[in-house]
Amino acid sequence: MRATPNETKSKPAPSKPANAKPPGIASASVPDTLAALKVNPETGLAHSEVDIRRKQHGYNEVAETKGHPALKFLKKFWGISAWMLELIMVLSAVLGKYSDLVVVAALLVINAVLSFMQERRAAGVVAALRKRLQVNARVRRDSSWQVITARELVPGDIVRVRPGDIIPADVKLLTGALTVDQSALTGESKDADKGYGEVLSSGSVVRRAKATAW
């Protein structure tokens, strides 16, 4: 099966208002899609073109916003449980019970430190799992097939998918037909049939191929 990562494909019809939005990948025809992406499905993109498009569009991934560790730690002092301990500290100071103030302050700091360390450890485990479970894609570049990580895909890449593969990006089917499992995206347990020109959503799993390409 071959497909191309999506992008806005075709221009609005002349009869539509000038400010009308062009149709997206779902409504654009396959020839219009290939023309808009300036790619030949028989050769794929050149490596020089891949570098240019990556600079324009970035990597095929959702950018993560990582906050400063100090700010994350300070947030541990903001919340219902933290507010209760802080209120007790204020009351202890007002009543002159400084021993209680010290004890509650120590509990507050210890709780924040433990929570912060646990969160950091969990984040490290998730990052390690992501690296081990990264999705790969078969792409055609410079007339040859190669395997790359899904994050390296750029708009216009020609992708080959087989039964058992995870769709690495939103793509449009160029040849053949297949059945995909979209339960992780839509919640529907029934597999969906996809044919020529239809869109395959990122994260779907290819179950069966009803036709073959190449």
How far is residue 167's CA from residue 133's CA, in Å, rounded to a whole number? 14
Q: Give tens-digit pLDDT for 179-195.
A: 888 888 888 778 888 88
How far is residue 55's CA from residue 151's CA, in Å, rounded to a whole number? 13
Q: Which CATH number fits domain 2-58+137-209: 2.70.150.10, 3.30.420.40, 2.130.10.10, 3.40.50.1400?
A: 2.70.150.10
Give the residue, 10 or 24, on which the prediction is more confident: 24
Residues 116-136 have a mean pLDDT of: 82
How far is residue 198's CA from residue 153's CA, in Å, rounded to a whole number? 19
In this predicted structure, which of 58-72, 109-123, 156-170 has the lowest mean pLDDT? 58-72
Four-residue CA torsion sign, 154, 156, 160, 165? positive
Question: Is 0.75 topped by the overall pTM?
Answer: no
**Domain chopping of the chain, boundaries:** 2-58+137-209, 69-132
Residues 114-131 have a mean pLDDT of: 84
133 backbone φψ class: left, alpha, beta (φ>0; ψ -120 to 50) = alpha
